[in-house]
Amino acid sequence: MTELLFRDDAYLQEARVRVIGHTPEGGILCDRSVFYPTGGGQPGDSGWLIWEGGRLPIATTVKAADGAVVLVPAEPLALPPPGTEVLQRLDWGRRHRHMRVHTALHLLSVVVPLPVTGGQIGAERGRLDFDMPDPPGDAAALEERLNALVEADLQVSTLWIGDDELAANPGLVKTMSVRPPMGQGRVRLVRIGTATTQVDLQPCGGTHVARTAEIGRLEIDRIEKKGRQNRRVVIALAD
Residue scoring higher pLDDT (132 or 163): 132
**Average pLDDT across the chain, whole number:** 92
pLDDT at 227 > cutoff 60 = yes
- Segments making up each domain of the chain, as ranges: 3-90, 95-237
pLDDT, mean of residues 144-153: 97
Domains 3-90 and 95-237 share a fold: no
Residue 198 CA, distance from chain mean position: 20
What pLDDT, on the 0 to 100 scale, is given for residue 161? 82
pLDDT, mean of residues 59-85: 95
What pLDDT, on the 0 to 100 scale, is given for residue 184? 65
20-63 pLDDT per residue, tens = 999 999 999 999 999 999 998 999 999 999 999 999 999 999 99
CATH for 95-237 is 3.30.980.10
Number of C-beta neighbours around residue 113 at 10 A:
8
What pLDDT, on the 0 to 100 scale, is given for residue 48? 98
Q: Is residue 75 within 8 Å of residue 57, measured between CB atoms?
A: yes
Closest C-alpha to 67, from 230, 205, 208, 222: 205
CA separation for the pair 32, 39 (Å, rounded)? 18
What is the band of 109 on the pLDDT scale with cuts at 50, 70, 90? Answer: very high
What pLDDT, on the 0 to 100 scale, is given for residue 94? 98
Tally the residues of the chain: 239
CA separation for the pair 192, 85 (Å, rounded)? 37
pLDDT at 73 > cutoff 90 = yes
Dihedral angle, C-alpha 8, 12, 16, 18, nearest 10 °: 50
CA separation for the pair 103, 85 (Å, rounded)? 33
Report the share of the chain in percent with pLDDT over 90. 79
184-213 pLDDT per residue, tens = 678 889 999 998 999 999 999 999 999 999
What pLDDT, on the 0 to 100 scale, is given for residue 16? 98
What is the band of 179 on the pLDDT scale with cuts at 50, 70, 90? Answer: low
What pLDDT, on the 0 to 100 scale, is given for residue 165? 81
Q: Is residue 213 within 8 Å of residue 107, measured between CB atoms?
A: no
Which residue type, as a one-letter code, is found at position 236? A
Global pTM reads 0.93
In CATH, what class is 3-90? mainly beta
pLDDT at 176 > cutoff 60 = no
CA separation for the pair 104, 200 (Å, rounded)? 12
pLDDT, mean of residues 108-136: 93
Number of C-beta neighbours around residue 120 at 10 A:
16
What is the band of 65 on the pLDDT scale with cuts at 50, 70, 90? Answer: confident
Q: SS3 sequence, the chain?
A: CCEEHHHHCCCCCEEEEEEEEECCCCCEEECEECCCCCECCECCCCEEEEECCEEEEEEEEEECCCCCEEEEECCCCCCCCCCCEEEEEECHHHHHHHHHHHHHHHHHHHHCCCCEEEEEECCCEEEEEEECCCCCCCHHHHHHHHHHHHHCCCEEEEEEEEHHHHHHCHHHCCECCCCCCCCCCEEEEEEECCCCCCCEEEECCCCCCCEHHHHCCEEEEEEEEECCCEEEEEEEECC
pLDDT at 181 > cutoff 70 = no
What is the band of 12 on the pLDDT scale with cuts at 50, 70, 90? Answer: very high
CA separation for the pair 119, 174 (Å, rounded)? 11
What pLDDT, on the 0 to 100 scale, is given for residue 90? 98
